[in-house]
Amino acid sequence: MLQKISDEILVDLESERRVLSGMLNSEEARIEAYDALKEEDFYYPLHRLVFSLICQLYKRDVKPTFAELLKEAQTLNLFRQQQEISELAYIAEHFIEGENISYWLARVKDRSRLRKFESLLRRYHQMIRENQHSVEEMLMGAEEELTNLTALENDNQVDSPVQLAHLGYQEVERRYLRFKEIKEVNKGIVPLDGLPTGFESLNNVTLGYKPGDLIILGAQTGHGKTAFALHTAKAVTIEHKANMLYLNTEMSRVQIALRWGSILSQVEHEKIRSGDLTTREFSEVLQAYSRLSNSGFYSYPCPNLTPEKIVSIARKFKAQHDIKMLILDYVGRMDKMTPNYAEWQVLEQIVKTQKMLAQNLNLAVMCLVQLNEDGTLQGARRMKNECDLMLKLIPVSREELEEKEQLRKFKDVNYRLVVDKNRDGRSGIDIMIHFDKTRQVMRDAVLASL
């Protein structure tokens, strides 16, 4: 008979309390714990309940103070015993500022895995005693369960040949049906796989920005990085009605708000900035803001942004607003995590973090980077390796317009969007764009023959 293992080894109530008190008192802790733990990782039923309540409040963007927790419990008719309320108070008041939440999280997680392991051993011990299963069957079963226990949360998806074949079949079937739909229903217009890009020609090339994609957009200073970002935001949050988080390291809240006024109303940005508007223009700008207020655009201007901060904020907005895309405007202005790193090392580090973020949170992440004067990008090769789509926004000079026949096919082209890398489709192509700087709006260039 297996002896009972001491609870001290399998259970760590102190760490559970630490995590919960951390969640009540610190947003950082909430973000970490919400992402890393599940209800069943807590041993004590009351702790499970508290964790679940804090997560519910957090998802609704309610700060889970002790008072809010009690109110939530009251609404759900929970914690009806004085003893339970006192235990809650005990958790709430034992938070120590500055404690390393990751340490306590790891302890809770480890004990949870240990309990699962112990339960697995007990089950197989029982099976051996019953003597009704073949050795092969038991060993194979135990091996599979043990593999699941040891695998890390995010990397535990190992596809068997059957699963992979099934996935492939489903994907091809979906694409086959979509192609038929393009021909029959949509009359040639390609339905997107991801979020709209804001340019029809780029939609055709990429099929949209897909969850897990890292998109890098490079442009020189003053050549439309933010305009491109907000153009994308318009397509995603206003026209497509999806939620997005926009992180800006350079501009103030007021500057971003004024840009939107111009983009959505088509009134010149300079007129909006100076206030020199006709009554009609003023009314158009006001209407534009009502569109913005009904959109899914969440803006976070933050001059001292670090990669860790981006991860925290992105997790928070994913949980609370189910964002589908994140735009980082722009990478060059972010604080260095390691001050003695060279510029290219910092960029590489940031881009790698963003790619992981895109995959882990299943959202499209767009990073804006600055191009050198000659149109090259520092650390370009490394960035290119990490990203799924690399775009460069390059102005078209008058000489180029006169020289290149391809450009003369368009009426009003003044910028080229170079698709430098496209993991899911054609690359090395140029998309012709018209960028109206006075109104901060972009669109596909119009063909001269139309």
Partner 1 sequence: MIINLKNQSDKYYTELARAIGVLECKGQLTPGEASCLLDVLDLVAVQRDYEFHRVLDGFLKADYGPEMHEIDEIVKATLTGVTLKSAEERNQVMAVIEDLTREKNRIGKQMQGGKDEYLAGRESHPGIPGSLEDQ
The answer to whether 271 touches 254, Cβ cutoff 8 Å, is no
Q: Which residue among 1, 6, 45, 80 contacts partner 1 (CB under 8 A)? A: 80
81 versus 449: smaller Cβ distance to partner 1: 81
Interface stretch with partner 1, choices 48-56, 62-70, 160-168, 262-270 (CB under 8 A): 62-70
Q: How far apart are alpha carbons 59 and 72 in whole angstroms?
A: 13
Distance in Å, CB of 77 to partner 1, minimum = 10
- Asked whether position 65 contacts partner 1 by CB under 8 A, the answer is yes
Distance in Å, CB of 91 to partner 1, minimum = 9
The answer to whether 101 touches 28, Cβ cutoff 8 Å, is yes
Q: How far apart are alpha carbons 380 and 348 in whole angstroms?
A: 9
Q: Which residue among 82, 157, 221, 449 contacts partner 1 (CB under 8 A)? A: 82
Q: How far apart are alpha carbons 313 and 343 in whole angstroms?
A: 24
CA dihedral 132, 138, 142, 143 (to 10 degrees): 180
- Asked whether position 39 contacts partner 1 by CB under 8 A, the answer is no
Distance in Å, CB of 313 to partner 1, minimum = 22
Q: How far apart are alpha carbons 150 and 295 in whole angstroms?
A: 43
- Asked whether position 187 contacts partner 1 by CB under 8 A, the answer is no
Distance in Å, CB of 256 to partner 1, minimum = 23
Residues 15-34 that bind partner 1 (CB under 8 A): 17-18
99 versus 200: smaller Cβ distance to partner 1: 99
Residues 96-125 that bind partner 1 (CB under 8 A): 96-97
Q: Which residue among 2, 89, 151, 167 contacts partner 1 (CB under 8 A)? A: 89
63 versus 113: smaller Cβ distance to partner 1: 63
Distance in Å, CB of 107 to partner 1, minimum = 13
**Which of 275, 278, 234 minimizes the C-alpha distance to 256?**
234
- Asked whether position 413 contacts partner 1 by CB under 8 A, the answer is no
Structure tokens at 85: 């309320």
Distance in Å, CB of 82 to partner 1, minimum = 5
- Asked whether position 293 contacts partner 1 by CB under 8 A, the answer is no
Q: How far apart are alpha carbons 10 and 141 in whole angstroms?
A: 23
- Asked whether position 145 contacts partner 1 by CB under 8 A, the answer is no
Start-to-end Cα distance in the chain? 85
Backbone angles phi, psi at 338, to 5 degrees: -120, 105
Residues 188-227 that bind partner 1 (CB under 8 A): none
Q: In what order do the strands lie in the sheet with 389-395?
A: 297-301, 244-248, 325-329, 364-370, 214-219, 389-395, 415-422, 429-436, 441-444
Interface stretch with partner 1, choices 82-90, 188-196, 272-280, 424-432 (CB under 8 A): 82-90
Site string for partner 1, 122-141 (x = CB under 8 A): --------------------
Beta-bridged to residue 325, according to DSSP, are 244, 364
Q: Which residue among 29, 54, 92, 365 contacts partner 1 (CB under 8 A)? A: 92
65 versus 278: smaller Cβ distance to partner 1: 65
Answer whether the bond into residue 246 is a cis peptide, omega within 30°.
no
Structure tokens at 60: 């609704």
- Asked whether position 86 contacts partner 1 by CB under 8 A, the answer is yes
Task: Please tell me the chain's helix, strand, coil percentages from 3-state DSSP, rounded to the nearest 5.
Answer: 55, 15, 30
Structure tokens at 84: 């339970």
> Where does this chain bind partner 1 (CB under 8 A)?
14, 17-18, 63, 65-68, 70-71, 74, 79-82, 85-86, 88-89, 92-97
